[in-house]
Amino acid sequence: MNNENKVENIDLPFVNHQKSTKITNSVSLMKNRKLRKAGLFALFVGPVFLAFSMIVLIPFFTGVYYAFTDWNGITGAVNWVGLDNFKYLFTEDKQFQASFLLTMKYTFVAIVLTNLIGFGLAILVTQMLKTRNILRTVFFLPNLIGGLLLGFIWQFIFIKGFSSIGQLTGISLFNLPWLGDANTGFWGIVIVSVWQGAGYIMLIYLAALQNVPQDIVEAAKIDGANRWQILRHITMPMVAPAVTICLFLTIASSFKVFDVNLALTNGGPFKSTEMLALNIYTEAFVNNRYGLGEAKALIFFLVVAAITVIQVTITKKKEIES
């Protein structure tokens, strides 16, 4: 018995040492794996994050700082003014308020028309037409043209083309001062923006429509459902995720409209068609009131962010319900 106890006492420390060595090795292996994963993550994500920080994050937070200053964008004198810029915008800057209301009106109209026309075009090109591939290309082509170039092209159409058609046909619609009046100028911007964006929205709706199961549609037709009932009760619930995406894209693009506004009317006549993005640009880079322009941009960002979050939340709930 004594000899057996001696053997056990001799072997026990050796076994414990082996166990501790294995545990230490496994811990070191886990640490090495984590370090390797962290290194690979930094290798692949690091350059992208650095570029994102240089292009987006740093300018954003710098702009937030300048929104509380009176910097003119040229000199090195930067004075902290606190909330004075925001007080001025909400109490004295009538042009900012008018541009904000005009942008809200334009955004609502552009969202509705762009989505309705885009969805209608998507339904059209899903029909069994021989020219459907050509139509897809034709409808999408305006989206490939830059906003400034598109604006100058349509400026020529509104001024020269419409007046020539009006003289030949005598139709009063073509004789309107399309870019010389506040109301017609507004609708001119809407026409060009919808014409440019509907083709892109069409592609998103087209992809969603092609994923609608045809066996369900055929079963509904056999049960006596008409086209409107199929569209309302089958197609629309199926394409609800696409509606969420399209609404998000059109809200963002409509609020940020700048190039078409600049090329078509440049905010005229007498700033009656000046959208908010153009108003911010004019304030910062034409009037040289960079701090005030950044204050407008910060308000603009918060409003757009709030509206898009609300829109996505509501439409996502509709997706789940449907």
Backbone region of residue 268 per phi and psi (left: phi > 0; alpha: psi in -120 to 50; beta: other values): beta
* pLDDT one-digit tens code per residue, 82-99: 999 999 999 999 999 999
What is the rounded distance in angstroms from the CA atom of residue 159 to the CA atom of residue 180?
A: 9
pLDDT in tens, 183-205: 999 999 999 999 999 999 999 99
Q: Note whether 73 and 285 are within 8 A (CB).
A: yes
Q: Is the pTM of this model over 0.75?
A: yes
Residue 6: predicted pLDDT: 47
- Beta-carbon contacts of 207 under 8 Å, excluding residues fewer than 6 positions away, are 242
Amino acid at 318: K
The whole-number average pLDDT for the span 262-286 is 92
For helices 132-140 and 182-210, the axis angle rounded to 10 degrees is 140
Q: How many CA atoms lie within 13 A of 88 on its CB side?
A: 16
